[in-house]
Amino acid sequence: MTRTPVEGDLRVRQLRAQQMLRGELAGRDLDEFVEERLLFTKLETAQNWARKNAIFPLGFGLACCAIEMITVIGSPRNDLARFGAEAIRFTPRQADLLILSGRVSIKMAPIIRRLYDQMLEPKWVIAMGACASSAGMFANYAVVQGADKFMPVDVYVPGCPPRPEALIYGIMKLQDKIMGNPDMGWRERYQAYGTEEREAEPPRHEGGLEVPRRG
Amino acid sequence: MDATGLELIAQRVREAVGDDAVTDTSFHREEAMIGIAPVRVHDVLEYLRDRDAEPWPYLMSVHGCDYLPDEPRLGVHYQLLSMERCDRLGLKTRLGVDDPHLPTVIDLFPTADFQEREAYDMFGVVFDGHPDMRRILMPEDYVGWPQRRDFPIGGEPVLYTFNESKYPRWYD
Amino acid sequence: MTDPLSVPYRERERSVTMERMGEEPVSGTEATVEGDLHDELFTINIGPHHPATHGVLRLLTTLEGEVVRDVKPIIGYVHTGIEKSCEDHQYWKVITFVERMDYLAYYFNAMAFCMAVEQLLGIEVPPRAQYLRVAHMELNRIASHLFAFATGALDIGAVTMLWWGCRDRDLVLDLFEMSSGQRMHPRYIQVGGVMEDIPPGWEQKVRSFLELMPKRLDQYLALLDRNEIWLRRLKGTGIVSQERCLELGVTGPLLRATGHPWDLRKAMPYSSYDHFEFDVPVGTVGDNYDRFKVRIDEVRESIRIIEQAVDGLPEGPWITEDRKVALPPRHELATSMEALIHHFKLVTEGFRVPPGEAYAAIEGPRGELGCFVMADGSAKPARVHMRDPSFVNLQALPEMAKDSLIADFIACVAMLDPILGGVDR
């Protein structure tokens, strides 16, 4: 969105505004006045700008990360209202953003999927915390190993639990994504090719950490 | 509670309920435990709650345990509390893995409701007489007893770039 | 069958009472006719996702009009297999798993587990560590109760309390961050003591917090305690008798609200709680209002305990000197070979615990939090079971909800303060 700055100090601008309201500006003065206050943008950009500044999160919390999410929403110190996401809706049909805060157990996964399906487009998902992103420390039978196994996730916020500031940073990244400017991944940003891990040596002794595969 | 007090309790239980009721006693690190035969669990708990000279009116915890590789493998522990004497007593029973059944103590201690269901869910110990013996933590149609020691822990290996081609993801 | 609209409205109005409603059941209800009353029972699913912010608890409520006749809580939606994961990790790694169980009372979970392991190992915790543990646990109790007020009041409708509760809880979390580096789940309590000594400046911050807190409590009471709506919603609702509570194994503020002064900190003191002077607040009737007031007063008592703990903090080590259990301090690694070997063994394999079973119970913010540890001589526990207070307290919910209106039922859930992480583990 481009915009020309409005010239002059406050008193000058006030006088010009008064003149405009009285209908005293004409010709080139009027043209300049209008041009200074016009915004040129694409409809898509304006729509995205409106969308990103008025996200309606779904009031949904699973476990410990939910406490930090409630701290983000409810605490006066770091609050979500300044990002426009103050209106928490508890019904998925009126919500935009599903913040998966907490560990997703196998009993809960179909319910979350149903909630996600009930949300209307456009909708976004933030996987908050290590457990929602990738099961965190719980590599066991009861936790779905990452929420992206059954639903698309837009932003992953790591941490156990992530600080409220980290969640807000994740929401800001989501806002960037909504605007159409997603951040590049770190490999592209730092041109970090050739840093992939090499094939591991097979362990030479018994007793290495063995994680059973799909047990 | 000390070791001699524990022995006296065990003796009283033997006299009241039967010689076969108490299998062993242990007082290790100030933890008093009496081993009970599985069929006698209800009688022993009833005696300890109502008729003993030093009654134990409150059940604090019922939980299961898997003693693999010791046989009999499954164990169920009961933790009793006496608020008068500010003291705790543990009872344990041992069951085999094939068809483990125990009498329910829900009529004596209603607190055992959810806890026995959890022991059933996690270890497969069926409590006869429980009004609602079904899974409580796992989904209703889950197969297997998760906290037994021979049940695999589950999860999946961590993907790095060197092994990500070996473990295909769900969308591959 | 007559057309219902042909019946005059005044007569149709009578149908919402206990009388039978003609031959046609109302659409949407399962009309079950029971006995002579011909009631209609409607089973509604207050599903795992609902506006009451108490975690993913599913309640199958059977309603008769607005009156709740039966409630079946269905749990398991955050079951994370913590107890099974604990069997796969060394003892000090288990502390991180166990902390995430009851996720508002993280110090308490770690404390119960560490007490059980210390009982099995037979080691003594140095007095400074005991006092530090007490201070942190009481701070955590304050934080947990504040969050209980915040979400409980939110459920009942007093939204301002949510902001205030979270605001003051942030102050406590700042203290935790200062002492251990993390706001939640800090792994501060370790087997044998605490992880690290408190930094300079922590005591002053705690004291300033303790000065502030009673005024804040008065602020909360000024908002809530004289509010007619709050009193009417909480007083007289959700009453469970003391005997029934004891039968159901309910402990903690719910039991104390009925008048029974059972508090493990006083009855079976652990970690030098007997050095401190504090009272146990007790209610009279056992309704929701008593539970609320008991928690408020518990915060006041916790403030007293923390003041005494911080005033009387003894000098000394903050973790046991037994090098086979606790890591040696870093400066020793440069000079002593045994320290290096101990460090290596502890970090790679962990300490071994001789075979045995222990059950240690502490007074958590919701009741008796017990931990059963069975050790088999290796570096990993063979069985860890946490006796969670919310799991057992949840069995009191059908009692509380019986024959109450839905709104009172929601107030019951709010004041019961279940933490589903602990319920499901």
Would you state the pLDDT for residue C211? 93
Q: Is the domain of C63 the same as that of C92?
A: no
Do A154 and A71 lie in a common domain?
yes
Query: Is the per-residue pLDDT at A48 higher than 80?
Result: yes
Do A36 and A73 lie in one domain? The reply is no
- The answer on A60 and A32 residing in a single domain is no
pLDDT of A184: 65
Output the pLDDT for position C28.
41
Instruction: State the pLDDT at residue C12.
Output: 56
Structural domain boundaries enclosing A163: 53-182
In chain B, how many domains are there?
A: 1
Within this chain, do residues A82 and A33 fall inside the same structural domain, yes or no?
no
End-of-domain residue from the set C58, C74, C90? C74
Q: pLDDT digits over B54-111, tens only?
A: 888 899 999 999 988 888 889 999 999 998 888 899 999 998 888 889 999 999 899 9
Note whether A24 and A74 are same-domain residues.
no
In a domain, A201, yes or no: no
Strands C42-46 and B58-66: unpaired
Counting the structural domains of chain C, the total is 2
What pLDDT, on the 0 to 100 scale, is given for residue C36? 43
Residue where the block lists tokens 């994370």: C80
pLDDT at C207 over 80: yes
Residue A214 is assigned to a structural domain of this protein: no
Predicted confidence (pLDDT) per residue in C82-118, tens digit: 999 999 899 989 999 999 999 999 999 999 999 999 9
CB contact under 8 A, C249 and B83: no
The reply to whether B10 falls in a domain is yes
C16 and C103 co-located in one domain: no
CATH of the domain at A120: 3.40.50.12280
Higher pLDDT, C19 or C285: C285
Nearest to C131, CA basis, from C285, C279, C278, C308: C308
Nearest to C395 among B57, B86, B113 (CB): B113
- Same domain membership, residue A162 and residue A75: yes
Percentage of chain A modeled with pLDDT above 70: 82
Which domain range does residue B51 map to?
A: 3-128
Nearest CA in chain A to B144: A141
pLDDT single digits (tens) C12-31: 555 444 444 444 444 444 44
Q: How far is B155 from chain C (nearest CA, A)?
A: 10
Is residue A185's pLDDT more than 80?
no
Confidence of residue C295 (pLDDT cuts 50, 70, 90): very high
User: Residue B79 and residue C356: Cβ atoms within 8 Å?
Assistant: no
Strand order in the sheet with C383-387: C356-364, C367-375, C383-387
Residues A31 and A62 in one domain: no
Is the same domain home to C264 and C122? yes
Answer yes or no: is B145 within a domain.
no
Domain that holds residue C54: 4-74
Partner chains of A (3+ C-beta pairs under 8 Å): B, C
Q: Are C110 and C185 in contact (CB under 8 A)?
A: no
DSSP-derived secondary structure for chain A: -B-PPPPS-HHHHHHHHHHHHHT---THHHHHHHHHT--B--HHHHHHHHHHTS--BB----SHHHHHHHHHHH-SSS-SGGGT----BSSGGG-SEEEEES--BTTTHHHHHHHHHHSPSS-EEEEEHHHHHH-TT--STTB-S-GGGTS--SEEE-SSSPPHHHHHHHHHHHHHHHHT-PPPPHHHHTT-TT-PPPPPPPPSSS----PPTT-
Would an 8 Å CB–CB cutoff place A138 in contact with chain C? yes
| Number of Cβ atoms within 10 Å of the Cβ of C225 | 15
How do residues C342-358 score in pLDDT, each as one tens digit?
899 888 988 898 999 99
CB of C181 less than 8 A from some CB of A: no
Residue A155 CA neighbour count, 13 Å, CB half: 24
CATH of the domain at C153: 1.10.645.10
Is the per-residue pLDDT at A63 higher than 50? Answer: yes
Tell me: do C15 and C109 sit in the same domain. no
A76 and A106, same domain (yes or no):
yes
Residue C157 clears pLDDT 70, i.e. is over it: yes
Distance separating alpha carbons of residues A70 and C78, to the nearest angstrom: 18
Q: Both C147 and C267 in a single domain? A: yes
* A114 part of a folded domain: yes
Average pLDDT, chain C: 86
Q: Which of C49, C74, C99 is the last residue of a domain?
A: C74
From the list A140, A141, A149, which residue is nearest B170 (CB)?
A: A149
Examine the domain organization and report whether C313 and C346 are in the same domain.
yes
Chain B positions touching C268 (Cβ under 8 A) are 86
- Which one has a higher pLDDT value, C245 or C26? C245
The number of C-beta contacts closer than 8 angstroms across A and C is: 101
Q: How far apart are the first and last CA of chain C?
A: 54
Beta bridge partners of A89: A58
- Which residues of chain B make contact with A144, given a CB cutoff of 8 A? none
Question: Beta strand pairing status for B31-36 and B87-95?
Answer: parallel
Short-list C139, C135, C130, CA closest to C194: C130
Among A194-208, B47-61, B151-165, the range scoring the smallest mean pLDDT is A194-208
Q: Quote the CA–CA distance of C79 and B146 in Å, as a whole number.
A: 12
Between residues A182 and A58, the one the model is more confident about: A58
Specify whether A22 is located in the same domain as A106: no
Backbone torsions φ then ψ of A124, nearest 5 degrees: -135, 155
At residue A196, the pLDDT reads 66
Selecting from A105, A131, A140 the residue whose C-beta is nearest the C-beta of C84 gives A140
Task: Count structural domains, chain A.
Answer: 2
Mean pLDDT within C5-18: 54
